[in-house]
């Protein structure tokens, strides 16, 4: 089930030995482009037609009414409401701490402060289909609220009855979102980015999704802000050694694999015995799982075990893969953490499975995928802010810096730039 790639004794450059990340095929790109085009020209009517085609339901109103949300909250078990509320409080506390106060640069000549200006309107996407994701509602909305965003929109694929499930709407209620639309897939991203008759366009779109959702974000980037590097199908790399219980590594591989067939689950180890034990545990767990089909689809396509020379080469492989989730599932993990260069989030030791980070530790679970962790990071409050620097210059500062500017501007042939200094003397 896990394809073995043995890079022991190989050269330092490992990129050519490892599978390259998948990119959307022409069919996906063309389909998403067609959907975006339909929403661009057809608005609500196009969204309704696409919703009927892809989700099999037709709603008179795309927006979920406040009454539907209230009824959903009432139907949601109290224990589950409390769990979501507690998770929301922890996520809010984390992101509020992360925001902090803007630093000020002041060297006596110039003082540069920062205006942290939130976007006016943010669009959140919570996936549906194979599972429901109230946790993603919390993870999308709370950083936006901490950033100061005034209006937050939520799009969720409708279920077979044409509504959105109770627990997702309950999560929306907990964080105060009442503008909820039963729209899923690429058409949801297009509707939020472009606007329709009933859904006013947003400034930033966030949230995880499948390959179609990620491709829609890619194509619409520039018309709307896209945070967290097109978060797409789930990924994990687990680094294990002889101290790792095989069943821990196996279940943590399957945690991400159960999201669907486009994900990635890699085991990296320098112990062939560990590879064999984890393979056996994975096989047994898949056979016993109620989500067997989803797990098989992911593991047969993207379940991989990489055998390496040792811990340092394990980290080299991981940094090339740049996974969404990295678990260093060994007892002595501190040295390996220091070698991390690219990962969405790192989970250390036997007591920190990625599933904890998915729900209630505090940091965001919306993470960069498809190797975009090389240049991007987890969703955070900062993704909903624009940073504008505000410059003040003292008299001494102008006297010191002005001539420098005049020199450079003159060299560039920008005479007005230079004159703007001379005229102030």
Question: How does pLDDT run along the chain (425 residues), one tens digit per residue?
Answer: 888 999 898 876 787 788 877 666 678 888 999 999 999 999 999 999 999 999 999 999 999 999 999 999 999 989 889 878 887 887 787 777 665 554 678 888 888 877 789 999 999 999 986 678 899 999 999 999 999 999 999 999 999 999 999 999 999 999 999 999 999 999 999 999 999 999 999 999 999 888 899 889 989 988 899 876 556 778 999 999 999 999 999 999 998 787 766 778 999 999 999 999 999 999 999 998 888 887 888 888 889 999 999 999 999 999 999 999 999 999 999 999 999 999 999 999 999 999 998 888 998 898 988 888 898 899 999 899 988 888 899 999 999 999 988 988 898 898 999 999 999 98
- Spatial distance between the Cα atoms of 157 and 214, rounded to a whole number of angstroms: 15
**Contact (Cβ atoms closer than 8 angstroms) between residue 137 and residue 126:** yes
The sign of the CA dihedral 161, 162, 163, 164 is: positive
Residues 224 and 236 in one domain: no
**Which residues, in sequence order, are CB contacts of 188 under 8 Å at separation 6+?**
125, 155, 157, 181, 213
Do 104 and 143 reside in the same domain of the chain? Answer: yes
199 and 245 housed in the same domain = no
The answer on 322 and 259 residing in a single domain is yes
Is 271 in the same domain as 165? Answer: no
Query: 276 catalytic, yes or no?
Result: no
- Residue 350 falls inside a structural domain: yes
Q: Is there a catalytic annotation at residue 325? A: yes
Q: Is pTM, for the whole model, over 0.85? A: no
Within this chain, do residues 177 and 251 fall inside the same structural domain, yes or no? no
Query: What pLDDT does residue 128 have?
Result: 83
Calpha distance 123→52 (Å, rounded): 22
Single residue among 198, 228, 258 that ends a domain in this structure: 228
Say if 371 falls within a structural domain. Answer: no
Is 16 contained in some domain?
no
pLDDT for position 63: 96
For residues 265 and 304, state if they share a domain: yes
- Here the CATH number for the domain that contains residue 253 is 3.40.50.1980
| Three-state secondary structure readout of the chain | CCEEEECCCCCCCCHHHCCCCCCCCHHHHHHHHHHHHHHHHHHHHHHHHHHHHHHCCCCCCCEECHHHHHHHHHHCCHHHHHHHHHHHHHHHHHHHHHHCCCCCEECCCEEEEEEEEECCEEEEECCCCCCCCHHHHHHHHHHHHHHCCCEEEEECCCCCCCCCCHHHHHHHHHCCCCEEECCCHHHHHHHHHHCCCCCCCCCEEECCCCHHHHHHHHHHECCEEECCCCCCCCEEEEEECCCCCHHHHHHHHHHHHCCCCCCEEEEEECCHHHHHHHHHHHHHHHHHCCCHHHHHHHHHHHEEEEECCCHHHHHHHHHHHCCCEEEEECCCCHHHHCCCCCCCEEEECCCCCHHHHHHCCCCCCCCCCCCHHHCCCCCCHHHHEEEEEEEEECHHHHHHHHHHHHHHHHHHCCHHHHHHHHCCC
Q: Are residues 60 and 77 in the same domain?
A: yes
What pLDDT shows up at residue 130? 67
The reply to whether 104 and 140 lie within a common domain is: yes
pLDDT for res 89: 82
Catalytic residue among 235, 259, 279, 325: 325
Distance CA 161, CA 159 (A): 5
Cβ-contact 184, 128 below 8 angstroms = yes
Exposure pattern of 377-404 as b/e (b: 16+ CB <10 Å)? Answer: bbbbbbbbbeeeeeeeeeeebbeeebee
Q: Which residues of 405-420 are buried (b: 16+ CB within 10 A; e: fewer)?
A: ebeebeeeeeeeebee
Q: Are residues 97 and 109 in the same domain?
A: yes
- Report which of 277, 227, 285 is spatially closest to residue 251, judged by C-alpha positions: 285
The answer on 344 and 208 residing in a single domain is no
Catalytic residue among 215, 279, 324, 327: 324
Residue 405, domain extent: 394-422
Please state, in angstroms and rounded to a whole number, the distance separating the CA atoms of residues 97 and 47.
39
State which of 228, 252, 272 marks the end of a domain: 228
How far is C-alpha 397 from the geometric centre of its chain's CA atoms? Answer: 43
Q: What's the residue count for the chain? A: 425
93 backbone dihedrals φ, ψ, rounded to 5°: -60, -40
pLDDT of residue 22: 67
Among 197, 228, 259, residue at a domain's last position? 228
**43 falls within a domain:** yes
Total tally of structural domains belonging to the chain: 3
224 within 8 A of 145, measured Cβ to Cβ: no
Pair (77, 203) in one structural domain: yes
Question: Residue 14 domain-assigned?
Answer: no
- Distance of CA 72 to CAs 59, 61, 76, 157, 233, Å? 17, 17, 6, 16, 28
- Is residue 154 within 8 Å of residue 189, measured between CB atoms? no
Give the model's pLDDT for residue 23.
62
């Amino acid at each position: 089930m896990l394809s073995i790639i043995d890079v022991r004794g190989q050269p330092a450059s490992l990129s050519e030995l490892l599978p390259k990340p998948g990119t959307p095929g022409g069919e996906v790109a063309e389909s998403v482009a067609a959907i975006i085009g339909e929403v661009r020209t057809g608005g609500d009517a196009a969204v309704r037609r696409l919703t009927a085609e892809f989700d099999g339901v037709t709603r008179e109103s795309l927006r979920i009414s406040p009454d539907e949300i209230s009824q959903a909250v009432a139907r949601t078990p109290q224990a589950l409401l409390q769990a979501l509320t507690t998770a929301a409080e922890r996520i809010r506390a984390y992101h509020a701490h992360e925001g902090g106060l803007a630093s000020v640069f002041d060297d006596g000549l110039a003082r540069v402060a920062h205006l942290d200006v939130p976007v006016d309107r943010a669009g959140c996407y919570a996936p549906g289909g194979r599972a429901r994701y109230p946790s993603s509602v919390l993870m999308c909305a709370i950083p936006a609220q901490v950033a100061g965003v005034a209006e937050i929109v939520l799009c969720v694929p409708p279920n077979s009855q044409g509504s959105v499930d109770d627990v997702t709407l309950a999560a929306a209620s907990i964080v105060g979102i009442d503008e909820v639309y039963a729209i899923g897939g690429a058409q949801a991203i297009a509707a939020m980015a472009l606007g329709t008759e009933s859904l006013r366009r947003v400034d930033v779109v966030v949230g995880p999704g499948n390959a179609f959702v990620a491709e829609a974000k890619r194509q619409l980037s520039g018309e709307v802000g896209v945070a967290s590097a097109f978060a797409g199908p789930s990924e994990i790399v687990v680094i294990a050694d002889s101290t790792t219980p095989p069943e821990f590594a196996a279940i943590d591989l399957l945690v991400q694999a159960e999201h669907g067939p486009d994900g990635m689950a890699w085991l990296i180890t320098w112990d062939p015995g560990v590879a064999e034990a984890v393979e056996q545990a994975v096989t047994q767990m898949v056979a016993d799982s109620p989500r067997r089909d989803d797990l098989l689809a992911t593991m047969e396509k993207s379940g991989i075990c990489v055998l390496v020379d040792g811990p340092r080469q394990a980290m080299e492989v991981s940094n090339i893969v740049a996974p969404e989730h990295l678990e260093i599932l060994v007892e002595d993990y501190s040295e390996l953490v220091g070698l991390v260069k690219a990962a969405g989030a790192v989970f250390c030791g036997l007591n920190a499975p990625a599933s904890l980070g998915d729900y209630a530790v505090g940091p965001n679970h919306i993470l960069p995928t498809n190797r975009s962790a090389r240049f991007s990071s987890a969703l955070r409050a900062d993704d909903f802010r624009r940073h504008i620097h505000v410059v003040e210059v003292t008299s001494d500062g102008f006297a010191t810096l002005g001539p420098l500017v005049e020199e450079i501007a003159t060299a560039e042939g920008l005479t007005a730039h230079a004159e703007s200094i001379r005229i102030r003397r």
